[in-house]
Structure 1
Amino acid sequence: MRSPITDSTASEPVADGICTLDDGRIIAYNLSGAMHGYPVFHLHGWPGSRTEGSLFDLQAAELGIRIIAIDRPSIGLSTPHSQRTVLDHALDIRQVAKHLSIKEYSVTGVSGGGQYALACAFLIPPEELRSIALVCGQGPVEVSLRGMNWSNQMVVRRFQYGPTLIRVLMHGMSWILKVSTMNRTSNERIFESFQTLRWWGLLGLVEKDKKVFANPDTLRAVITSMREHFRQGVEGCLAEGRVTTSTLGFEIQDIKRNVRLWYGREDTDVPATIGEEIARQLGENATLRLEDETHLSLVVNQQRPILQDLLDRP
């Protein structure tokens, strides 16, 4: 749940595919990894987009996995869906799977995609959804925020108790960036600025996160994904805030199947305490793994075991 960059009009990444849903909306998706491999739906973070799936390209290809990363409604190239819920999006995923003629698949929910992965675990039959993983996944808003950094806690609480203020601030930020033409700055120019000005110290990143962003491909992928999140403006991000600070519409205890939980002991964005509480509520249906990683380094450094674990599905 890091701060947004801007509306994304500076670059024009295209989707690998478009699925038209039963209600006429479209869901855009990108493919990476092994094009004919075992399908894994990647549910992106907040803010993030379908292009985030490219982070897993190399490891997925080596393991024979096809990553299908989709834009949630109002994000990237996907159509808005007024008053959507996490369960609504689980139904969207089933339609995309049908569109791609996929009968069996797995799901990973990374960071802000965590609640959506839980919704899939609750809603989609096990003969269709074979395995589920939350990777530093955000849990229900009722779960303790203990261990979360103050800025993320403030965002969560503002969406809960002051959403109008958040809306005004984000639209104001968007207007300022448009007036200053910053929204038309290319992704490559932003990449060069980060490399030249060494902004990481100003952002307060810890050493492990600095090492993650030392990889140019990773940095480019993150910049592209975050900017694509705001392609349609700030409404998608605001919708994400509303959805993820609302009740799930089901109880975690009602999930009757195994869910893999991967969390970093050094993560202050979505702290390990959230994973521990989700595991407590899942009971015997949880497989919890705590690694000596941060929010960013967990996603990058633990890709292979996370994906391999999905293949070792029950």
Structure 2
Amino acid sequence: MSFGKEANLTLSDGRAIDYLDAGDPSGRPIFFQPGSPNTRIMGKLWHPAALVAGVRLISVSRPGYGGSTAIRHQPMLSTVGRDLAELATLLGLDEYAVIGSSGGGPYAVAAAAIDSLRVRAVGVVAGTGPWRELADPSSEPEERAVLALLDRGDLAGARAGMRHLVENVWQADLRRLDGEARLNAWLGDDPLAADEAYRAIMADALSAIVEGTEGVIFDGLAHGAGWDIDLQAVHAPVLLWYGGADESCPVTYGRWYAEQITRANLVVFSEEDHLAVGDSHRPEVLAAVLEAWQ
């Protein structure tokens, strides 16, 4: 089955940006920011629903993921928002919407804050929030220690510390395995783990993640640093979907977005966890974003 067209373009600063142009080529354009760690490949999971909905789904690899050039300066949410705006210009888009899932959620909102005249609607599906502010202060002590270096202006130290966490803590078991064993370890208790088409997409995504750590480092630092976007500048409607049983990106994050953004609407699936929210509602998410399009 074809899942769209793999492509890349060169941004004005010379960096490459890697993306998957999926769904209906003649449909309304919606950019997709995948979770963390993940690449444009995750747009393949949205392709069938996008076709049915008449949506041109453009799934983007952030800096350091896939074929998108890594950056060495301090990772910021606004960097991705500006990249998306420039990509929209290169593609000749006068207006567009953005959906962000899990770790991609903040970047979808960043795009709306930065390109407020063209972004018509935003969807955040179980999206990460400013966790250092909202989570228990005793949580994630190693990551907090790394981010404290960034607070003090030690970017090199923070990057080195985040690389250590990625390679020796978060991905340590994956790096010791290969083939099906690695894929099974990554999928864990994912209810779709037995589906062969799903496994093929996830195996492709996993290869891109484990081959390089720059994208994960970017996300870890950008998510944990002080957010450099003005949520009051978001004028488009923002639709939020969260799971009541989600421990990775709890409803607390959704409520925070809803309090900060004027035109936000929060939907809570009381019994669903992180994977269920992300995997079970693609058609309704696309339909709702299209309906909210201004």
User: What does residue 87 of structure 2 align with?
Assistant: 96
User: What does residue 290 of structure 1 align with?
Assistant: 268
Q: Does 1:245 align with 2:236?
A: no
Distance 1:242 1:98 in 2: 27
Task: Kindly provide the amino acid, as one letter, of the partner of residue 310 in structure 1.
Answer: V
Task: Kindly provide the amino acid, as one letter, of the partner of residue 147 in structure 2.
Answer: Q
Give deviations 1:174-219, integer Å, cap 9, x for gaps.
9988996x5xx45xx458x73xxxx699x5x4xxxx4233333223
Task: Kindly provide the amino acid, as one letter, of the partner of residue 270 in structure 1.
Answer: C
- How far did 1:15 drift? 7.1
Contact 1:49 1:226 in 2 (8 A): no
Residue of structure 1 aligned with 2:32, choices 19, 30, 42:
42
* Residues 159/274 of structure 1: CA separation in 2 closer, same or farther (3 Å cut): farther
Contact 1:230 1:237 in 2 (8 A): no
Distance 2:210 2:275 in 1: 20
- How far did 1:224 drift? 2.2
Stretches of structure 2 lacking an aligned partner (at least 5 in a row): 150-157
- How far did 1:161 drift? 3.6
Contact 2:108 2:123 in 1 (8 A): yes
Residue of structure 2 aligned with 1:301, choices 280, 285, 289:
280
- How far did 1:254 drift? 4.2
Contact 1:134 1:260 in 2 (8 A): yes
Moved over 6 A (4+): 173-180
Q: Does 1:220 align with 2:200?
A: yes
Distance 2:170 2:130 in 1: 28
> Matched residue of 1:31: which SS?
strand
Give deviations 1:216-266, integer Å, cap 9, x for gaps.
3223323322331343x2222112111111112134344333211111111
Residue of structure 2 aligned with 1:157, choices 119, 144, 155:
144
CA-based RMSD: 3.1
Contact 1:60 1:307 in 2 (8 A): yes
Contact 1:108 1:134 in 2 (8 A): yes
Q: Does 1:78 align with 2:68?
A: yes
Residue of structure 2 aligned with 1:271, choices 250, 253, 256:
250
Contact 1:133 1:259 in 2 (8 A): yes
User: What does residue 8 of structure 1 align with?
Assistant: none
Contact 2:175 2:210 in 1 (8 A): no
Distance 1:49 1:116 in 2: 14
TM-score, normalised with respect to structure 1:
0.78
Contact 1:25 1:78 in 2 (8 A): yes
Q: Return the structure number with greater relative CO, CA threshold 8 A, min gap 6.
A: 1
> Would you say how many aligned residue pairs link Structure 1 and Structure 2?
279
Distance 1:100 1:250 in 2: 24
Distance 2:273 2:248 in 1: 8
Distance 2:109 2:173 in 1: 35
Stretches of structure 1 lacking an aligned partner (at least 5 in a row): 1-13
Distance 2:274 2:192 in 1: 11
TM-score, normalised with respect to structure 2:
0.83
> Matched residue of 1:211: which SS?
coil
* Residues 70/175 of structure 1: CA separation in 2 closer, same or farther (3 Å cut): closer
Distance 2:170 2:264 in 1: 41
Contact 2:116 2:233 in 1 (8 A): no
User: What does residue 11 of structure 1 align with?
Assistant: none
Distance 1:238 1:26 in 2: 18
> Matched residue of 2:19: which SS?
strand
* Residues 175/297 of structure 1: CA separation in 2 closer, same or farther (3 Å cut): closer
Contact 2:5 2:22 in 1 (8 A): no
Distance 1:15 1:244 in 2: 29
Alignment of 1:119-138 (within 5 A): 119-126=110-117, 128-138=118-128
Alignment of 1:255-266 (within 5 A): 255-266=234-245
Q: Percent identity?
A: 26
Contact 1:15 1:28 in 2 (8 A): no
